Amino acid sequence: MCSILGIFDIAAGADLGELRRNALAASARQRHRGPDWSGVHVDGRAILVHERLAIVDPAGGAQPLRSEDGSLVLAVNGEIYNHRQVAASLARPYRFQSGSDCEVINALWRECGAQGLQRLNGIFAFVLWDREQGRYLIARDPLGVCPLYWGRDRAGRRWVASEMKALVADCDEVGIFPPGHYYDSASGELRGFWQPAWRDYDRVAGADVSLAVLREALEQAVHRQLMTDVPYGVLLSGGLDSSLVAACAARFARRRVEDDDRGEAWWPRLHSFAIGLEGSPDLAAAKLAADALGTVHHGFTFRFEEGLDALPEVIRHVETYDVTTIRASTPMYLLARRIKAMGVKMVLSGEGSDEIFGGYLYFHRAPDARSFHEECVRKIDALHQFDCLRANKAMMAWGVEARVPFLDLEFIRVAMGMDARHKMAGDGRMEKAILRQAFTGVVPDPILWRQKEQFSDGVGYSWIDGLKAHAEQVVGDDEFAAAAERFPFNTPQTREAYWYRSLFEQHFPGDACAATVPGGKSIACSSPAALAWDPAFAAAADPSGRAVAGIHQAAVA
C-alpha cells in the first residue's frame, strides 16, 4: 500500500507552482504510508502525488502510472490480486508500462470505463486523470480496506487523499469517500458499483456450503494475497482467525505466487508476530499456535506506560476517537514498529471473520437466521470505520501493509452465500462453529476452539483497566460534566471517551472532522439488532468483550 493525493477542478490561470508546493506539503503528512519513493504529476487541470510502499515490482512500478501515450495518469493505494487474470481477459490491447499489479486499472478504463471496477478483486483507493477527456475518476474498494477522504478547498477545487490529515489544512469541507463507490467528474455523481446478491437474505436462504468448499475458499484467498516481492509475515494473536490465516500461509509460503508457484519464494520462511502485556492471553496462545504451525515466531511485550505514551500519536494516525478502535490500535501500532525494524513490509491479518461469521459474543442472542444474516451485513458495511481502519492505519503508521484474506471478495461470496442458520451460535454451540469445523486438524484444538477475545482484551486485561483508570485521573469532574457543551456532536459518554475526543480535536478540529467518526458505541450495544435481541445490552457502557454480560466465558457452558 501507499498514499495518494489528488487536486482536481483547477481553474484556468491558477498558480500551478504554488499548488504543486501545497500538494507536496499535504502529501508529506501521509508519507509514513509510502516511505520508499515519491512521484508527482502536474498539468493544467490536475495534480496527482503518490508516496510509494514498494511491495510488488519494487524495482519498477513507480507511480503515478502513465499509459504509453501519457494521456492516462493513475495514482493507487492498494493491491489488485487478480491483475494477471484481468489483463489476460482484456478485449482491447493495452501496452503495459510497468510490472505493477495496479496498472490494469488504466487498461480497464480504456476498455470499459468505470464498469471495469466490477472485474477487480483487491483492495484499492485511486484517482485516475484522463487528460484527453479532461475527466477524472475516484474509486474505493467495496469494503473500504484502503482509506480514502475527499473535500473542497476555498477555491472550489476537489482534493482527495488517503488520510484526513493531508486535507485539514486546505479543506473546510472534509468527508469519507464511501467504500464500493466511484465518482466520475463527467457526470458529477457518486455511484455504487458493488451490490452482491448475498446482501439479501432471501437470495441465500436455504443455501448450503460444504466444509471443504469453505476451507478451500479461505486457502485460495490467502494464496492470492501472498502476492509480494518483499519480506512478509503474519499477525498471530493466537485466536481462531489469525491462526487460520497463518496456517493457510504456511501451506503456500515456500512457492512464489507471481509465477504460479513454479519457483521458490524469495522469502520462504514464514514469520509470525504477536504482542501483549507480560502474561497476556494472546502471547501464550500465539506461541502455542506458532509451535504447531512451524512459523518463525516473534512475541513482543510492551509495558502499560509505553502504550500510554504512544496513544496521542495513535489517535493522530488512526484518525478516530472511537474507544474500541483506539484501545486495539495502540498495541497494533507498537507491534508495527517492531515488525518494521525487522525489515518486514507486509503482513496478513485476520480482520473480517467476526463480521462474516457472527463471531461477536452478542450474536449468541440472535433470534433467527434472518436477523443473524442482516446483522452480519450491517457489521460488514461498518468495517471501514472500525477494524479495517485500525488494521490499515495502525500498521501503515510505520510503513507496514496489512492484508485481510477474510475480506477477499471471492471468499466473502462463498461465506456470505450460505444460509446463516449454519453460522448461528447459542444453546451450547460456539460462535463461528462452522469455520472451526472446516479447519479441524489444521491447528491445535485449544486454538481452534478458543473463545472470542477482542484484541484489546487479549493483549492483557490490565491494558483496558489501566486506560480507564488513567482517564479518571486526567478528566476532571467539571470537564466531564460539561462534555455536552464542549462536544455537542457525538458527546462522549465516558471519561475515557472524553479523553480520546480531546486528543483527536487537537489534530482534527471542527465538526466536519468529528463527523467522520461514527457516533455512540462501536460494539454490540450500539447495534439496533443487539438491543432488540437483548435490551440488557443498552446498559453496557464499556465496549470490552468482557462486558457482554452472561456470554463471555459462559458462552458455551
Residues labelled catalytic: 2
Calpha distance 548→362 (Å, rounded): 7
Total residues belonging to the chain: 557
Calpha distance 541→35 (Å, rounded): 40
| Helix (H/G/I), strand (E/B), else coil: 267 | coil
Annotated ligand binding at 350? The verdict is yes
C-alpha grid cell, residue 106? 488504466
CA distances (Å), origin 61, targets 11, 99, 504 = 31, 6, 35
Calpha distance 173→382 (Å, rounded): 22
Closest alpha carbon to 326 in 406, 393, 278, 401: 393
Annotated ligand binding at 409? The verdict is no
Q: Are 445 and 249 in contact (CB under 8 A)?
A: no
Q: Are 108 and 65 in contact (CB under 8 A)?
A: no
Q: Are 390 and 176 in contact (CB under 8 A)?
A: no
Calpha distance 354→349 (Å, rounded): 13
Bridge partners, 176 (sequence order):
149
Q: Are 238 and 276 in contact (CB under 8 A)?
A: no
Q: Which helix (H) or strand (E) holds 166?
A: none
Query: Order of strands, edge to edge, in the sheet holding 158-161?
Result: 37-42, 47-52, 3-8, 158-161, 149-153, 171-176
Contacts 24+ apart (CB under 8 A), 441-446: 442/244, 442/247, 443/243, 443/244, 443/247, 443/289, 443/292, 443/293, 444/288, 444/289, 444/292, 446/285, 446/288
Calpha distance 348→225 (Å, rounded): 8
In the Cβ-directed half-sphere of 244, how many Cα atoms lie within 13 Å?
28
Annotated ligand binding at 275? The verdict is yes
Closest alpha carbon to 527 in 386, 403, 344: 386
As annotated, the binding site for L-glutamine includes: 101
As annotated, the binding site for ATP includes: 235, 275, 349-350
As annotated, the binding site includes: 101, 235, 275, 349-350
